[in-house]
Amino acid sequence: MKYLLHGIVFTVCLFIPQSLLAWDGFDADTTDLVEILPDKLPKAGDTVDVRNYDTDSSQTCLVEAVTRNARTVEVIVRSPDGQNRTLVMEGR
């Protein structure tokens, strides 16, 4: 029983960090709620996973530019279909 409990706790711990390490914001064009994984300030040339809550979809995008503002961070990403998206994220 002890080992079963340890196995369950270990399995749950594997899935918790990814959901907690997301960076929330919105798409400037569509106002859809989005999150970026991993939860760190990207730089141009990085790839990030962008999850769109409104359409319940995810995309891996290339970061084109990052601009810090007083309360937000604008991240311009290029999606796989070639479109640029401006994501306005919570300030860091």
Own/partner contacts of 81-88, CB < 8 Å, gap of 24 or more, are 85/27, 85/28, 85/29, 85/50, 85/61, 86/27, 86/28, 86/29, 87/25, 87/26, 87/27, 87/28, 87/34, 87/36, 87/50, 88/25, 88/26, 88/27, 88/28
pLDDT in tens, 37-91: 998 899 999 999 999 999 999 999 999 999 999 999 999 999 999 999 999 999 8
Q: In the prediction, which pLDDT does 58 show?
A: 96
pLDDT at 19 over 50: no
pLDDT digits 0-9 by tens, 25-43: 999 999 999 999 998 899 9
pLDDT of residue 18: 46
Pairwise pLDDT comparison (71 vs 10), residue with the higher score: 71
Average pLDDT over residues 2-21: 53
Q: Is the per-residue pLDDT at 14 higher than 90?
A: no
